[in-house]
Amino acid sequence: MPVDPPHHRMYEKHSEFESLMRILLWFATGFGCFEVTCILLVLYYLYSTNQGADNTTQGYILAATGFKRFSYGELKKVTHGFSEEIGRGAGGIVYKGTLSDGRVAAIKRLNEANQGEAEFLAEISSIGKLNHMNLIKMWGYCVEGKHRLLVYEHIKHGSLAENLSSNQLQWDTRFEIAVGTAKGKSPTGNLSFDHGGLTAHGRLVTWVKEKMNKAAATRDHSWVEEIFDPSLGCEYDINKMEVLVRVALLCLEEDKDSRPTMRQVVEMLASQQ
């Protein structure tokens, strides 16, 4: 009976080992590819879900506030790095920018404050409820990290405060602005919000009251001339001016129950038109 030589048996064992290793290698490679594919699918699912959640959140925010939410990067880009300043105040600095749709905007960068996102969005929502023909339209906002920005339409003729402080407006126009503002704040108007607390303190208010009270007995109107700002550079109706001052002082009464309603304010001012 023939017997295989030792080297032949060793060759067969080596071949079996190579076959086994080849099978294990293919299995490991296939399993590795399967595992990588699963990981990629999970990551894609998580990314898609996150994107969907972000879009849904954005949708909820848009529905709740009525405004678009901009990223800080977007607003930095449209203002060219906040390079064109067009105004500033106690609340922050206003910059001019052109949005992606071509609209020119006034972007107010608020001073840094420890205001949370929820509180900021609540205020934005309150602003969204204001509706008046003489109010500048708000288009959007940004709340990102410590950044808080508001996006308004750009008014090329400047703000109301700037116009009132200039000598370009005539007296009749100024009086119409006062009446229009009162109408907007009255319950019959479409602008409604909490007026907050008023204070009757201040040297200017005290000085005006003293002037008015001294002239009450003599019916001397010269006190009106004393308080009118001559830098406004316009003639004025002394009777209308006196009514404006008296109404303003009534609105600053320390006893809130003694203050007139906005409807009464409108009636007092409208009687002079």
Q: Are 183 and 189 in contact (CB under 8 A)?
A: yes
Task: Indicate the residue type of 36.
Answer: V
Please give the Cα distance from 33 to 120 (Å, whole number): 48
Give the model's confidence band at 168: pLDDT under 50 very low, under 70 low, under 90 confident, else very high: confident
* pLDDT digit string, tens, across residues 121-157: 888 877 777 766 667 888 999 999 889 999 999 988 7
Largest CA distance in the chain: 150
158 CA to centre of own chain? 18
How do the domains of the chain map onto residue ranges? Answer: 1-64, 69-153, 160-270
CATH number of the 69-153 domain: 3.30.200.20
Report whether 96 belongs to an annotated binding site.
no
170-212 pLDDT, tens digit per residue, is 888 888 888 888 887 655 554 444 444 445 556 777 878 777 7
Instruction: Output the pTM of the full model.
Output: 0.53
